Amino acid sequence: MPYIKKVTTGMIILFLLLTVLPHQTLALGVSARTAILIEQESGRILYEKDAHKKMRIASITKIMTAILAIESGKLNETVTVSERAIQAEGSSLYLQKGEKIKLEDLVYGLMLRSGNDSGVAIAEHVGGSLEGFVVMMNQKAQEIGMTNTHFSNPHGLDDHEDHYSTAYDMAILTQYAMQNETYRKISSTKVYRAPNPNEKWDRVWRNKNKLLTSMYKYSTGGKTGYTVRAKRTLVSTASKDGMNTIVVTLNDPDDWTDHMNLHNYAFEQYDLVKLKGQGTLNKIGNDFYKGKVFIKRDIVYPLTTKEQSKVKIDIQLQKPERDWKKVENVPNVVGELSVKIANKNVANVPVYFDNGEVEKPKGSFWELFKRIFFIASGVNQHG
C-alpha cells in the first residue's frame, strides 16, 4: 500500500491539478483565447478554456522573475544598473546606467509598473547574467510542474520565438508564488515609493492592475501584460469569505470583465468545506491504533452544494508488525487517509502514529495554516 512521504512541490501541484473533480467547461462568456480559474490552495480547476494551449504571455512572465528574485534572499542587496538593462524596450522604470538601486525596489517596479529595464537588471543581479537567469527560470518551471512552458527572457517581450506558456501553467506558477508572504505583499501593493538617487524626489509607482486599484473589491493582486503579438494577458488573485481564487486569461480583449465574472462564479457556486479536521482520528477499528493515529492538517476543499453529500473518507492502515510492541519501532507514517467525492480522489493525507517522534498539531487551524500554507490536502483559510 503506498504511503505519502516527502514529495516535491511540483509533484504536489501536478497531483492536485490532475486528480481534481470534474470542472466547468461550459461557456461563461469569456472573451479570452485561453483561460483558467482555480481555487488557490487545493488547485481545483473550476473553469477552463483551452487552458493547455501554448501561447505568448507578455509581462505576466514577470511573476517568475519576481518570485526568483524574492527566493534569492538578495532583496536588500544593491544592484548596479547596466547598459543592457536601460536598453530594454517597452514599459520602463527609466533607470539610468550605473545607478545603484535596491533589488527590492526593482521587484516592486517590475510588478507594479511592469518595467522591462527592471526585469533585465534583476536577471543580471540574481542570475549573474540575463542568460543565466533564464536558465533559472526554466529550472523553476520544471520543478513546479509547468510542463508546457519555456522562458527566453525575464520580461515577456516578443524578442524570442520560443518564449511561451499556457493558462494552466501560469496558474501553477501563481499558485506557487502565492505561498510566499513577500510576493503576496508586493503583488497586492497599490502604490510604492522608491528613492531616486539622481533627483530630489522619490519615484512613485502605481499598480497597473485596475482590478486591485479600483475595479474589484475582492482583488488581492496579480500581473498585467501586453505585447503586439501576445495581446492582453492577465493573472489575477482574489479572496472572499476565506476562499482564494486565481484566474489567468491569455489574448483577452475584455480581461477585466472576464476576471471579475470568473472570480464571482467561484464565490457564488462553491463553498469551502472542512472534510476532515486535523488531530486524532476516531472510530478506528484496530485496537492497536485507537487513540494513537492522527493527521497533521485540516482537509478543506471547494464544493458545490450537490457535491457536499457525495464525500467519502477512507482510512487504510498497515497491519501492525510483531516488533511494534515497542513504540519506538512503529514508523512515523502507518497509513493513508483518502477523500473521494463522486468517486473522484481529491486528497491523500499521511496518517501518523503517536510514537513521540512526530509532532502532533497544536493550536487553531489559523495557526497551522500560517505554517503550512500550501499542502497536498487542500487546506484553505475557511473552516
Q: Which residues are catalytic?
A: 59, 62, 114
Amino acid occupying residue 258: D
Nearest in space to 68 (alpha carbons), one of 147, 6, 133: 133
DSSP string, 203-218: EEEE-S-HIIIII-TT
Look-up of cell digits 477585466: 256
DSSP string, 217-262: TTEEEEEEEEETTTEEEEEEEEEETTEEEEEEEES-TTHHHHHHHH
Nearest in space to 333 (alpha carbons), one of 350, 316, 347: 350
Nearest in space to 237 (alpha carbons), one of 23, 59, 60: 60
Residues 185-199 as b or e (16 or more Cβ within 10 Å = b):
ebbbbeebebebeee
